[in-house]
Structure 1
Amino acid sequence: MPQTHFRPDVVALFADVDWHGHLDDPQRAYHRDGRPFTLAEQRLLVTITPEEKAAGHQQIRRENEWLDEVDAMRDDFVALIRKYFDQLPKGSVVADAISIMTDEDYAEYERLVPIVTAQDTLEYRATHGNSSEHLTGHTED
Protein backbone atom coordinates (compact mmCIF):
# COMPACT_ATOMS: atom_id res chain seq x y z
CA MET A 1 0.00 0.00 0.00
CA PRO A 2 1.51 3.39 -0.95
CA GLN A 3 2.32 5.73 1.89
CA THR A 4 0.49 9.06 1.91
CA HIS A 5 2.69 12.15 1.84
CA PHE A 6 1.61 14.90 4.21
CA ARG A 7 2.90 18.44 4.12
CA PRO A 8 2.89 19.48 7.80
CA ASP A 9 2.92 23.17 6.87
CA VAL A 10 -0.29 22.77 4.85
CA VAL A 11 -1.98 20.77 7.62
CA ALA A 12 -0.95 23.42 10.20
CA LEU A 13 -2.16 26.21 7.93
CA PHE A 14 -5.52 24.49 7.44
CA ALA A 15 -5.85 23.96 11.21
CA ASP A 16 -5.21 27.69 11.76
CA VAL A 17 -8.05 28.93 9.53
CA ASP A 18 -10.65 31.09 11.27
CA TRP A 19 -13.78 29.45 9.90
CA HIS A 20 -16.03 32.17 11.29
CA GLY A 21 -14.77 34.70 8.73
CA HIS A 22 -14.52 38.45 8.92
CA LEU A 23 -17.22 40.91 7.96
CA ASP A 24 -14.76 43.39 6.44
CA ASP A 25 -13.52 40.84 3.85
CA PRO A 26 -15.59 37.63 3.87
CA GLN A 27 -13.83 36.23 0.77
CA ARG A 28 -10.38 36.30 2.38
CA ALA A 29 -9.02 33.61 4.69
CA TYR A 30 -7.90 34.66 8.16
CA HIS A 31 -5.78 33.02 10.84
CA ARG A 32 -7.42 32.30 14.19
CA ASP A 33 -5.43 35.19 15.71
CA GLY A 34 -7.10 37.62 13.27
CA ARG A 35 -4.26 38.04 10.76
CA PRO A 36 -5.29 37.78 7.13
CA PHE A 37 -3.65 35.03 5.12
CA THR A 38 -0.90 36.21 2.82
CA LEU A 39 -1.26 35.57 -0.88
CA ALA A 40 1.37 32.81 -0.60
CA GLU A 41 -0.57 31.17 2.26
CA GLN A 42 -3.80 31.33 0.27
CA ARG A 43 -2.11 29.75 -2.74
CA LEU A 44 -0.67 27.00 -0.56
CA LEU A 45 -4.00 26.34 1.17
CA VAL A 46 -5.83 25.69 -2.09
CA THR A 47 -3.36 22.87 -2.86
CA ILE A 48 -4.46 20.86 0.17
CA THR A 49 -5.08 17.18 -0.49
CA PRO A 50 -8.04 15.28 0.98
CA GLU A 51 -5.64 13.41 3.28
CA GLU A 52 -4.09 16.67 4.53
CA LYS A 53 -7.55 18.14 5.05
CA ALA A 54 -8.55 15.09 7.11
CA ALA A 55 -5.35 15.45 9.16
CA GLY A 56 -6.16 19.13 9.68
CA HIS A 57 -9.64 18.25 10.93
CA GLN A 58 -8.10 15.71 13.32
CA GLN A 59 -5.70 18.38 14.62
CA ILE A 60 -8.57 20.82 15.18
CA ARG A 61 -10.49 18.09 17.04
CA ARG A 62 -7.47 17.32 19.25
CA GLU A 63 -6.99 21.02 20.03
CA ASN A 64 -10.66 21.38 20.94
CA GLU A 65 -10.45 18.32 23.20
CA TRP A 66 -7.38 19.79 24.88
CA LEU A 67 -9.15 23.13 25.41
CA ASP A 68 -12.12 21.29 26.92
CA GLU A 69 -9.70 19.48 29.24
CA VAL A 70 -8.07 22.76 30.28
CA ASP A 71 -11.50 24.30 30.95
CA ALA A 72 -12.35 21.33 33.18
CA MET A 73 -9.04 21.75 35.04
CA ARG A 74 -9.80 25.45 35.55
CA ASP A 75 -13.21 24.54 36.96
CA ASP A 76 -11.57 21.99 39.28
CA PHE A 77 -9.04 24.61 40.38
CA VAL A 78 -11.73 27.17 41.19
CA ALA A 79 -13.77 24.57 43.10
CA LEU A 80 -10.69 23.58 45.09
CA ILE A 81 -9.87 27.16 46.08
CA ARG A 82 -13.51 28.02 46.73
CA LYS A 83 -13.81 25.06 49.13
CA TYR A 84 -11.23 26.75 51.38
CA PHE A 85 -12.44 30.30 50.89
CA ASP A 86 -15.76 29.18 52.34
CA GLN A 87 -13.85 28.49 55.59
CA LEU A 88 -12.02 31.83 55.64
CA PRO A 89 -13.10 35.36 56.55
CA LYS A 90 -14.08 37.80 53.83
CA GLY A 91 -11.07 39.48 52.20
CA SER A 92 -8.88 36.38 52.37
CA VAL A 93 -6.45 35.68 49.54
CA VAL A 94 -5.34 32.48 47.83
CA ALA A 95 -2.28 32.22 50.09
CA ASP A 96 -4.66 32.04 53.08
CA ALA A 97 -6.52 29.15 51.44
CA ILE A 98 -3.26 27.37 50.66
CA SER A 99 -2.18 27.63 54.29
CA ILE A 100 -5.15 25.53 55.48
CA MET A 101 -5.26 22.96 52.66
CA THR A 102 -4.91 19.28 53.34
CA ASP A 103 -1.79 17.63 51.90
CA GLU A 104 -3.94 15.94 49.26
CA ASP A 105 -5.61 19.18 48.19
CA TYR A 106 -2.28 21.00 48.18
CA ALA A 107 -0.86 18.33 45.85
CA GLU A 108 -3.85 18.86 43.55
CA TYR A 109 -3.32 22.64 43.75
CA GLU A 110 0.35 22.14 42.77
CA ARG A 111 -0.70 19.99 39.81
CA LEU A 112 -3.29 22.48 38.54
CA VAL A 113 -1.75 25.89 39.17
CA PRO A 114 0.88 25.85 36.39
CA ILE A 115 -1.77 24.83 33.89
CA VAL A 116 -4.55 27.23 34.83
CA THR A 117 -2.29 30.26 35.32
CA ALA A 118 -0.33 29.93 32.07
CA GLN A 119 -0.87 32.77 29.60
CA ASP A 120 -1.10 30.29 26.76
CA THR A 121 -1.63 26.83 28.14
CA LEU A 122 -0.68 24.99 24.94
CA GLU A 123 2.52 27.02 24.72
CA TYR A 124 3.23 26.32 28.40
CA ARG A 125 2.84 22.55 27.92
CA ALA A 126 4.95 22.61 24.76
CA THR A 127 7.72 24.49 26.58
CA HIS A 128 7.58 22.86 30.02
CA GLY A 129 5.91 19.49 29.48
CA ASN A 130 4.31 18.20 32.67
CA SER A 131 6.70 19.91 35.08
CA SER A 132 5.09 21.01 38.32
CA GLU A 133 7.26 23.91 39.36
CA HIS A 134 5.86 25.80 42.32
CA LEU A 135 4.09 29.04 41.47
CA THR A 136 2.63 31.58 43.82
CA GLY A 137 -1.04 31.51 44.65
CA HIS A 138 -1.74 34.44 42.36
CA THR A 139 -3.75 33.81 39.23
CA GLU A 140 -4.05 36.01 36.16
CA ASP A 141 -7.32 36.58 34.33
Structure 2
Amino acid sequence: MTHRNIRLDVVTLLCDADFRRRPDTNRWSHRDGRPFSKAEQALAFSATREEFMIAADQINREVDYHREYEEAVEALPKLLLPYLAQVPDGSTVSDVLPQMSDEDRAAYDRLRDILAPDGYLFAPTDE
Protein backbone atom coordinates (compact mmCIF):
# COMPACT_ATOMS: atom_id res chain seq x y z
CA MET A 1 0.00 0.00 0.00
CA THR A 2 1.20 3.48 -0.76
CA HIS A 3 -0.44 5.25 2.23
CA ARG A 4 -0.87 8.48 0.30
CA ASN A 5 -3.62 10.83 1.41
CA ILE A 6 -4.70 8.59 4.28
CA ARG A 7 -7.12 10.44 6.55
CA LEU A 8 -6.40 9.44 10.12
CA ASP A 9 -9.84 10.58 11.30
CA VAL A 10 -11.50 8.26 8.79
CA VAL A 11 -9.31 5.28 9.75
CA THR A 12 -9.95 5.98 13.44
CA LEU A 13 -13.70 6.13 12.84
CA LEU A 14 -13.63 2.86 10.87
CA CYS A 15 -11.66 1.17 13.67
CA ASP A 16 -14.44 2.14 16.09
CA ALA A 17 -17.29 1.08 13.81
CA ASP A 18 -19.84 -1.65 14.17
CA PHE A 19 -20.72 -2.07 10.52
CA ARG A 20 -24.20 -3.48 11.08
CA ARG A 21 -26.83 -0.92 10.25
CA ARG A 22 -28.96 0.10 13.20
CA PRO A 23 -32.67 -0.23 12.41
CA ASP A 24 -33.51 2.90 14.41
CA THR A 25 -31.10 5.22 12.53
CA ASN A 26 -30.30 3.21 9.40
CA ARG A 27 -26.65 4.03 10.13
CA TRP A 28 -23.63 2.25 11.54
CA SER A 29 -22.67 2.70 15.16
CA HIS A 30 -19.64 2.96 17.37
CA ARG A 31 -18.42 -0.17 19.14
CA ASP A 32 -19.98 1.09 22.37
CA GLY A 33 -23.42 1.22 20.69
CA ARG A 34 -23.70 4.95 20.04
CA PRO A 35 -25.11 5.50 16.57
CA PHE A 36 -23.00 7.33 14.05
CA SER A 37 -24.09 10.87 13.48
CA LYS A 38 -25.04 11.79 9.93
CA ALA A 39 -21.63 13.45 9.56
CA GLU A 40 -19.81 10.36 10.83
CA GLN A 41 -21.76 8.12 8.49
CA ALA A 42 -20.93 10.39 5.55
CA LEU A 43 -17.27 10.40 6.58
CA ALA A 44 -17.24 6.60 6.81
CA PHE A 45 -18.87 6.31 3.41
CA SER A 46 -16.16 8.56 1.98
CA ALA A 47 -13.43 6.11 3.03
CA THR A 48 -11.14 4.86 0.32
CA ARG A 49 -10.31 1.22 -0.21
CA GLU A 50 -6.87 1.88 1.26
CA GLU A 51 -8.38 3.46 4.40
CA PHE A 52 -10.65 0.42 4.83
CA MET A 53 -7.64 -1.89 4.42
CA ILE A 54 -5.62 0.01 7.03
CA ALA A 55 -8.55 -0.07 9.46
CA ALA A 56 -9.07 -3.79 8.85
CA ASP A 57 -5.39 -4.47 9.53
CA GLN A 58 -5.59 -2.51 12.79
CA ILE A 59 -8.77 -4.30 13.87
CA ASN A 60 -7.11 -7.66 13.18
CA ARG A 61 -4.08 -6.65 15.27
CA GLU A 62 -6.40 -5.68 18.13
CA VAL A 63 -8.24 -9.00 17.92
CA ASP A 64 -4.93 -10.88 17.94
CA TYR A 65 -3.71 -8.85 20.92
CA HIS A 66 -6.88 -9.50 22.93
CA ARG A 67 -6.74 -13.23 22.14
CA GLU A 68 -3.07 -13.42 23.17
CA TYR A 69 -3.81 -11.46 26.35
CA GLU A 70 -6.70 -13.74 27.35
CA GLU A 71 -4.57 -16.83 26.67
CA ALA A 72 -1.82 -15.36 28.88
CA VAL A 73 -4.35 -14.68 31.66
CA GLU A 74 -5.22 -18.39 31.62
CA ALA A 75 -1.64 -19.64 31.27
CA LEU A 76 0.10 -17.62 34.00
CA PRO A 77 -1.65 -19.20 37.01
CA LYS A 78 -1.22 -22.67 35.50
CA LEU A 79 2.50 -22.00 35.22
CA LEU A 80 2.92 -20.49 38.70
CA LEU A 81 0.65 -22.64 40.88
CA PRO A 82 2.90 -25.72 41.04
CA TYR A 83 5.79 -23.54 42.18
CA LEU A 84 3.70 -21.54 44.66
CA ALA A 85 2.54 -24.82 46.22
CA GLN A 86 6.17 -25.51 47.17
CA VAL A 87 6.78 -22.29 49.14
CA PRO A 88 5.34 -21.04 52.43
CA ASP A 89 2.03 -19.17 52.49
CA GLY A 90 2.51 -15.48 51.81
CA SER A 91 5.30 -16.06 49.32
CA THR A 92 5.29 -14.06 46.13
CA VAL A 93 6.18 -14.75 42.54
CA SER A 94 9.64 -13.32 43.16
CA ASP A 95 10.15 -16.09 45.75
CA VAL A 96 9.51 -18.83 43.19
CA LEU A 97 11.41 -17.40 40.24
CA PRO A 98 14.76 -18.86 41.37
CA GLN A 99 13.15 -22.33 41.56
CA MET A 100 11.84 -22.25 37.99
CA SER A 101 13.38 -24.25 35.22
CA ASP A 102 14.92 -22.25 32.39
CA GLU A 103 12.01 -23.26 30.16
CA ASP A 104 9.38 -22.18 32.70
CA ARG A 105 11.26 -18.93 33.41
CA ALA A 106 11.26 -18.14 29.68
CA ALA A 107 7.51 -18.88 29.55
CA TYR A 108 6.97 -16.68 32.61
CA ASP A 109 8.94 -13.82 31.03
CA ARG A 110 6.90 -14.09 27.83
CA LEU A 111 3.58 -14.10 29.73
CA ARG A 112 4.70 -11.23 31.95
CA ASP A 113 5.60 -9.16 28.90
CA ILE A 114 2.15 -9.78 27.43
CA LEU A 115 0.23 -9.05 30.62
CA ALA A 116 2.38 -6.25 32.02
CA PRO A 117 4.48 -4.63 29.29
CA ASP A 118 5.14 -1.66 31.57
CA GLY A 119 6.31 -3.94 34.36
CA TYR A 120 3.23 -3.58 36.55
CA LEU A 121 0.66 -6.34 36.84
CA PHE A 122 -2.66 -5.34 38.36
CA ALA A 123 -4.51 -8.24 39.90
CA PRO A 124 -7.89 -7.33 41.37
CA THR A 125 -8.86 -9.06 44.57
CA ASP A 126 -12.18 -10.10 46.03
CA GLU A 127 -11.84 -7.52 48.81
TM over 0.5: yes
1: CA distance, partners of 2:24 / 2:82: 48
Cα pair 1:81 1:97 within 8 Å, conserved: no
> Which moves more between the two structures, 63-72 or 6-15?
63-72
Q: Is the 8 A contact 2:69 2:115 kept in 1?
A: yes
Q: Is the 8 A contact 1:6 1:52 kept in 2?
A: yes
2:71 pairs with 1:72: yes
Q: How many residues align?
A: 120
Is the CA contact (8 Å cut-off) linking 1:18 and 1:30 kept in structure 2?
yes
Change (3 A) 1:51 1:82: same
Match for 1:139: what amino acid?
A: A
Q: Distance in 2 between matches of 1:6 and 1:115?
A: 30
Taking the TM superposition and a 5 Å limit, the aligned residue runs for 1:17-28 are: 17-19=17-19, 25=24, 27-28=26-27
Aligned to 1:12: 12
Identity %: 33
**Cα distance in structure 1, aligned partners of 2:55 and 2:113:** 28
Distance (Å, rounded) in 2 between the aligned partners of 1:70 and 1:3? 30
- In the other structure, the counterpart of 2:40 is 41
What is the TM-score with the length of structure 2 in the denominator? 0.67
TM-score (norm 1): 0.62
Please tell me whether the aligned partners of residues 84 and 100 of structure 1 are also in contact (alpha carbons under 8 angstroms).
no
Runs of 4+ more than 6 Å apart:
105-108
Question: Could you say which structure has the larger radius of gyration?
Answer: 2
Q: Distance in 1 between matches of 2:3 and 2:74?
A: 43
Which residue does 1:132 correspond to in 2? 119
